[in-house]
Amino acid sequence: MSFFSRKKFVVALLTILSASLSAQEIVPINSEDVTRMGIVFAPAIPVDTSAGARYAATVVNSPDSAASLITPWAGTLISWALIPGQSAKADTILATLSSHSILPLQNTWIDSVSALEAANFELRKDESLYEQGVISQQRLTKTRLLKKQAIFAERTARSHLAQGGFDTAKLDALRKQGSGLGEFYLLAQADGVLSQRMYNVGDYVEAGQIIATLNAGTHRWVSAHVPARAAEALEIGHQLSIFNSSEILTLRQKDLVIDSSNQTIKLLAEFDADTSFTTGQVLSIVLPPVGKGVLIPDRAVVHTGGETLIYVRTDTGIEARTLELQSIGADYMASEGIAVGEEIAIQGSAVLKGIQLGLGGTE
């Protein structure tokens, strides 16, 4: 028989033997030979959030809690009350600015308070005169209307100054002591942490500009663009993890529209606890499989035709077991056919396959 004929015969034999592999077949090998041939077994473990495909992700602040501080008027930044990273209670002053734009509004409010006091005085006087029969009902009605107009004017002027951080105490100090004249304040709208300052003291800031960002102090998030097929089964609430880290995240948002340019979708996940990772840091996020199962290491799997085979040590010997496996990144998951704790060959699977096929032996 020629060399090429022998080669064809061997290939045909391997094909026949491969096709004959079946589940629940016992491989003829004893314990001494297992050790001698360097075959290593390890207990099967359940799949957890650390197993799965890995993708690049960026740490971001919570999109649900970030707030921007915007200047209502143009002005010069006089001072910052906090540095980035410091916490602030709601209505705490974060920045003070001087502005020529606020002076007319402050003067308008001061004048409106004086006008309201005068209207109150006139109404009290006319009510007394009306009771004495000195003035008519028409005159009293007019005086009451003037007071309503004065109230409206004062409230309107007050609401304008409220945009500049003037509460009742600051308004009182403005009118009586001139405190804050030509200045306005930017306040924290809710409890949070000052995350970024956009301008330095002495800078001129145009109206409508973002001067700082405030984060509500909730846990940080990560943003990742992953292949649509990889995230197809993921649902809001599923847990994810960071490669080589014990930190867990919960999926909060998942885009429904696929980016046609690269067939990816955007995921946003929140850390379950405070983290030392900083905003902007790039990490490797792990997308675990959906559902429960047993982790099957890649090195334990033997591919035979269209089937996937593993070797399991049992009380009666080493069993060749055919399983349906789901790819989870570098490894696989078995939903059935293997139990947690059963011992899987994680080294030497090729040797066991050769013995099973009858191509090698223990001698």
* pLDDT surpasses 70 at 260: yes
Q: What percent of the chain has pLDDT over 90?
A: 42
d(CA 356, CA 18): 9
Residue 64: which pLDDT band, with cuts at 50, 70 and 90?
low
Residue 161 has pLDDT above 90, yes or no: yes
CA distance 341 to 141: 91
Three-state SS at 199? coil
**pLDDT of 85:** 76
Nearest-5° Cα angle at 133, 131 to 136: 100
Rounded Cα distance, 25 and 285, in Å: 39
Q: 250 Cβ partners below 8 Å, 6+ apart?
A: 237, 238, 239, 240, 269, 270, 272
Query: What is the b/e burial string over 221-253, where b = at least 16 CB atoms within 10 angstroms of the residue's CB?
Result: bbebbbeeebbeebeeebebbbeeeebbbebee
Q: Worst-scoring range by mean pLDDT, 65-79, 91-105, 129-143?
A: 65-79
Category of 38 on φ-ψ map: left (φ > 0), alpha (ψ -120 to 50) or beta: left
Residue in 267, 208, 211 with CA at minimum distance from that of residue 52: 267
Closest-CA residue to 323 (of 68, 108, 201, 342):
342
Region at 208 (left for phi over 0; alpha for psi -120 to 50; beta for the rest)? left
Give the pLDDT score at 10.
41
Q: What's the start-to-end Cα distance of the chain, in Å?
A: 28
pLDDT band at 19 (very low <50, low <70, confident <90, very high): very low
Interval 97-117 mean pLDDT = 96
Q: How far from 203 is each of 77, 156, 188, CA to CA, in Å?
A: 6, 30, 20
Cβ atoms of 352 and 345 within 8 Å: the answer is yes
Task: Assess whether pLDDT exceeds 50 at residue 7.
Answer: no
DSSP-derived letter for residue 299 is G
Closest CA to 296 of 337, 352, 354: 337
Looking at the predicted structure, is the pLDDT value of residue 22 above 60? no
Closest CA to 290 of 51, 58, 45: 51
Stated as kind and residue range, the H or E segment containing 197 is: strand 192-197
Mean pLDDT on 340-349:
90
| Spatial contact of 185 and 165, defined as CB atoms under 8 Å apart | yes
Among the ranges given (220-224, 343-347, 359-363), the one the predictor scored with the smallest mean pLDDT: 359-363
Q: Which of 70-74, 149-153, 305-309 has the lowest mean pLDDT?
A: 305-309
Supply the pTM of this predicted model. 0.48
> Edge-to-edge strand order for the sheet containing 294-296?
45-46, 294-296, 331-334, 325-328
Indicate the range of 164-178, 199-213, 309-323 predicted with least confidence.
Answer: 309-323
Sheet holding 75-80, edge to edge: 183-187, 93-98, 75-80, 204-205
* Of 156-170, 195-209, 225-239, the least confident: 225-239
Whether 279 contacts 60, CB under 8 Å: yes
